[in-house]
């Protein structure tokens, strides 16, 4: 469909306002719908994924008003959703599908969720298994443990679940179902994944606690909940979107960018730690805290980067930024090793494969591994034709790579950036 040509450039300057966090935007609609009273959301991300969440809740009888300044969700309480007339269209959004599985498992009506080809091939067994243990009646319509998912009414029980993956989507599905269970629910994950659900549930009045255990695993506990209460939410900018402009400022010559309003929650900010470990000149300014979510502006200057190793508990804190980190590693001196990141295989594309293909086509030295990749930096990048495979993060990471390549680059199907950052190319043009 839409190809985008990106020419090399240097000297990026100015201020960039980062759009709202995708994870927090989804959760604000979901909790707003289940709460009593209205929830007002500012800086909501109007990306396709979050619009899928809005569409699903509207189909279940929730009034959601959209004005240029804010979104207003007219919540109907824990038991206020009504049966949708049609299949719920979850589009490209794994977050919508997995988090809603938890909510829908507790409803007294039957529902079906289905999405696009990418979404319908992503693994849903990871939520079907624990939710079924809780008493949910959830089936994969085609019997392949993928969407479409059919969810029929069930009585939910509290469980203590140990998840094999550090996944906020799995954790959140179980915690949301746990609100409706007949006893306390706990989820233990191998390392702490993003904790936006826990923070937001707490601010809406749920009884929820979470701890990082001495062995590095993390456990969240939630008690059954009578009601949640609507809140005002100001969504911080999405660090996953900010990462592209931080990388652009670091990689292009003679650049200085102020990337504004970035959420820097520790469970999401691994990208900043990696930048520092690679020798990046980044400074946090104007730090603040709102709704439990810390935020800051980030001043970025052109930097000479060097290789690093990224592994273990750091991985869930930067999982969506790995294509961008791989590009930075290709431009850095020395070797970068990324491991413990097998989750990359089940994102919108298999990002070990799509990152490897795109980086190789630009002339980089990258070796894919079973759980990550090894990149030998220091080879100049060439302009190339990049197949995004409709993966927004591949399209954006390689649009940034193109800025410091030695010829023009074409990004195929570049419109897929709409999933998380509709204004991406406009903003990129604006800071040249
Ligand atoms: C998300 C969690 C992550 C992330 C995704 C959004 C969320 O997925 O990759 O883009 O909002 O909970 P996993 O939790 O499955 O790793």
Model confidence over 29-61: pLDDT tens digits?
999 999 999 999 999 999 999 999 999 999 999
Its pTM stands at: 0.98
Does the annotation flag 23 for ligand binding?
yes
Euclidean distance between CA atoms 230 and 28, whole angstroms: 10
**Are 50 and 99 within 8 A, CB to CB?**
no
Q: Which among 380, 46, 20 is positioned nearest to 196, based on CA atoms?
A: 20
The residue contributing the CA closest to ligand 1 atom 10 is 320
Question: ω into residue 148 within 30 of 0, thus cis?
Answer: yes
Euclidean distance between CA atoms 364 and 305, whole angstroms: 15
Tokens of 33: 């719908």
Nearest ligand 1 atom, CA 22: 11
* Annotation marks residue 320 as catalytic: yes
Q: Which among 329, 324, 310 is positioned nearest to 377, based on CA atoms?
A: 329
Euclidean distance between CA atoms 419 and 299, whole angstroms: 26
Ordered domains of the chain (ranges, CATH): 4-19+237-431 (3.65.10.10), 22-234 (3.65.10.10)
Euclidean distance between CA atoms 241 and 16, whole angstroms: 11
Please give the average per-residue pLDDT across 319-342, as a whole number: 98
pLDDT of residue 238: 98
As a whole-number percent, the residues of the chain with pLDDT over 90 amount to: 98
- Whether residue 289 has pLDDT greater than 80: yes
Q: Which among 324, 298, 296, 297 is positioned nearest to 310, based on CA atoms?
A: 324
258: β partners: 15, 299
Scan for tokens 């749920």, then name that residue.
Answer: 206
**Cα 98 to averaged position of ligand 1 atoms, centre (Å):** 10
Does the annotation flag 82 for ligand binding?
no
**Are 158 and 131 within 8 A, CB to CB?**
no
**Cα 316 to averaged position of ligand 1 atoms, centre (Å):** 9
- Whether residue 431 has pLDDT greater than 90: no
Please give the average per-residue pLDDT across 396-420, as a whole number: 98
Please give the average per-residue pLDDT across 267-273, as a whole number: 98
- Whether residue 1 has pLDDT greater than 70: no
**Are 70 and 41 within 8 A, CB to CB?**
yes
**Best of 30, 168, 267 to mutate for ligand 1, by most ligand atoms within 8 A of CB?**
168
Does the annotation flag 22 for ligand binding?
yes
The residue contributing the CA closest to ligand 1 atom 16 is 167
**Are 361 and 316 within 8 A, CB to CB?**
no
Catalytic residue among 21, 238, 297, 320: 320
pLDDT tens by residue, 91-149: 999 999 999 999 999 999 999 999 999 999 999 999 999 999 999 999 999 999 999 99
pLDDT of residue 291: 85
Sheet holding 372-376, edge to edge: 309-310, 335-338, 372-376, 365-369
> What is the pLDDT of the chain when averaged over all its residues?
98
**Cα 270 to averaged position of ligand 1 atoms, centre (Å):** 14
């Amino acid at each position: 469909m839409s190809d985008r040509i990106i020419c090399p450039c240097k000297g990026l300057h100015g201020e960039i306002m980062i759009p709202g966090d995708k994870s927090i935007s989804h959760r604000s609609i979901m909790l707003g719908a289940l709460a009593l009273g209205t929830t007002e959301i500012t800086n909501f991300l109007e990306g396709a994924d979050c619009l899928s969440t809005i569409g699903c809740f509207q189909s279940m009888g929730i009034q959601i008003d959209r004005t240029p300044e804010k979104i207003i969700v007219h919540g109907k309480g824990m038991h206020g959703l009504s049966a949708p007339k049609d299949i719920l269209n979850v589009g490209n959004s794994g977050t919508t599908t997995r988090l809603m599985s938890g909510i829908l498992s507790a409803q007294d009506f039957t529902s079906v969720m289905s999405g696009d080809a990418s979404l319908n091939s992503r693994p849903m067994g990871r939520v079907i298994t624990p939710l079924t243990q809780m008493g949910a009646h959830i089936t994969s319509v085609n019997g392949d443990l993928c969407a479409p998912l059919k969810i029929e009414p069930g009585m939910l029980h509290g469980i203590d679940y140990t998840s094999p993956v550090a996944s906020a989507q799995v954790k959140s599905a179980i915690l949301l179902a746990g609100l409706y269970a007949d006893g306390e629910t706990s989820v233990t994950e191998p390392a702490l994944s993003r904790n936006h659900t826990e923070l937001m549930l707490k601010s809406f009045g749920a009884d929820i606690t979470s701890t990082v255990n001495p062995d590095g695993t993390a456990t969240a506990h939630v008690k059954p909940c009578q009601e949640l209460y609507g809140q005002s939410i100001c969504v911080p900018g999405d660090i996953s979107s900010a990462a592209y402009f931080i990388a652009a400022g670091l990689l292009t010559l003679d650049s200085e960018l102020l990337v504004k309003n970035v959420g820097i929650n520790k469970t999401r900010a691994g990208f900043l730690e990696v930048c520092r470990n690679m020798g990046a000149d980044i400074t946090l300014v104007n730090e603040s805290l709102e709704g439990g979510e810390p935020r800051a502006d980030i001043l970025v200057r052109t930097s000479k980067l060097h290789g690093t190793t990224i592994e273990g508990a750091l991985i869930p804190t930067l999982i969506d930024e790995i294509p961008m980190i791989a590009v930075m590693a290709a431009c850095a001196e020395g070797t970068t090793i990324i491991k413990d990141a097998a989750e990359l295989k089940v994102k919108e594309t298999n990002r070990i494969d799509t990152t490897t293909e795109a980086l190789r086509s630009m002339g980089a030295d990258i070796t894919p591994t079973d759980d990550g990749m090894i990149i030998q930096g220091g080879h100049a990048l060439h302009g190339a034709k990049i197949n995004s495979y409709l993966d927004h993060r591949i399209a954006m990471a390689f649009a940034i790579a193109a800025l410091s390549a030695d010829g023009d680059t074409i990004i195929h199907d570049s419109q897929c950036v709409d999933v998380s950052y509709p204004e991406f190319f406009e903003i990129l043009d604006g800071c040249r």
